[in-house]
Structure 1
Amino acid sequence: MEQKNGYKDFMVHLLFAVYIYGLFKVILFKFRAVDPSWLWQHLKLSLSSPLYIVQGLQDGNLTPFKEISRTLHVLTNHDLINLFGNIAIFIPFGIFIGVMFNNKSLSFTGAFACSFALSLCLESAQIVFAIGSFDVDDLILNSGGGLIGFAAVHFVKWMGRTPSIVQASDRPI
């Protein structure tokens, strides 16, 4: 049984690493190939001229709910995909932390804080690497997505049907 738990834990952590890789590929590399040299060039560029960082902040959105409100009023396909995409891309993060912290040591506040911290790191990285702009609404939407995933895991547990990935070690072979 211990070996099965070890395998399950390994698989969950492996899938989590693949998810984080995909998250970075989408947010930092904008679906391009993951190329550390490209990221290094952007970092050198922003460090050589801090105006890139200032410009990224000025071009960004620092007003909570500004872009969300605009999107809901304009309703273009691109904006709606961006809105729901920012939520959807963090739902797996909430699921993973819900599964990995299966012993209930992580509260909803903790799940929100983890989602917010990861989103803040990614938003800040876009500024530091001069590859995007900072959007506080992305923090809100990403954190909400993380909470949705975390809540889904707890809802399934509450219903008494623990996700198969959590109880894989209890299944007969």
Structure 2
Amino acid sequence: MNPAHKLRIYSLQAIFAVYIYILFKIILFKFGSINFGFLWQQLQHSSENIAASAQRGNFIPLVTLLNTFDHPTTHTLVNFTGNIALFIPFGMFLVILYPQGTGGGSFSGVLIRSLGLSAMLECAQAVLYIGTFDVDDLILNTFGGLLGYMLLRPFVRAYSSRKGSSVTKK
């Protein structure tokens, strides 16, 4: 592998790591500072937090989504579009970072990874009591990841067929 190609791969991985950091900061900390002391304190009370989170969370698919369209407010529309938009880059990064044939950048790979990351973030919100678990967020986040896949995949295929390789594999 030539040095320029290695640099491109490492640069993409670094940008992906920054994206994941920003994603966590937005979803878990709502743009606030990351306070590990606060998280530790929340974790120590997690058994109480889970019970409270379960009472205020949404575990029934499409309830929040239908409410968003029945009674749209600025908050619900920002939440709706934000949940999709935040995961579009995730799907794109998976397409770029996983070479063809490895499965990670495939439709099912993006689906599983988007759903898994979203579930992890939603569960963290519930356990740490720093947000509300909403199954509809899982749906929207996963859709966002798949949308990123669908937006970028045709370009990666065209690039790969033109160059005879994937974006990151040489």
User: TM-score with structure 1 length normalisation?
Assistant: 0.87
Does the CA-based 8 Å contact 1:126-1:132 persist in structure 2? yes
Tell me what 2:66 maps to: 69
Whole-angstrom CA distance in 1 between matches of 2:154 and 2:34: 35
Tell me the C-alpha RMSD between the 2 structures.
1.9
1:82 aligned onto 2:79: yes
- The yes-or-no answer on 1:137 pairing with 2:136 is yes
The CA deviation at 1:161 is 4.8
1:14 paired with 2:11, answer no
Which structure 2 residue ranges, 5 or more long, are not aligned? 161-165
Structure 2 counterpart of 1:143, one-letter code:
T
Shift of 1:115: 0.1
Q: Which amino acid is 1:157 matched to?
A: V
Aligned equivalent of 1:37: 37
* Post-superposition CA distance 1:53-100 (Å, at most 9, x none): 111012000000110011011111110110010000000100111100
Structure 1 stretches lacking a partner, 5+ long = none
Equivalent residues in 2 for 1:20-59 (5 A)? 20-46=20-46, 50-59=47-56
Q: Are the equivalent residues in 1 in contact too, given 2:96–2:168 (CA < 8 A)? A: no
The 2-side partners of 1:100 and 1:74 are apart by 40
- Matched AA of 1:120: A
Partner of 1:91: 88
Q: Following TM superposition, by how much is the alpha carbon of 1:41 offset from its aligned partner in structure 2, in angstroms? A: 1.6
| 1:119-172 C-alpha deviation (Å, 9 max, x unpaired) | 0000000111111121000000000000011111212234x257xxx75999xx
CA distance in 1, matches of 2:66, 2:101: 35
Per-residue CA deviations over 1:17-57 (Å, capped at 9, x if unaligned) read: 100100110111111112222211211222xxx23211101
User: Alignment length, in residue pairs?
Assistant: 163
Q: 1:77 to 1:104 in 2, by over 3 A?
A: farther
Match of 2:163 in 1: none
Match of 1:108? Answer: 107
TM-score by length of 2: 0.89
1:150 & 1:101 partners in 2: Cα distance?
12
The CA distance in 1 between the partners of 2:168 and 2:153, in whole Å, is 17
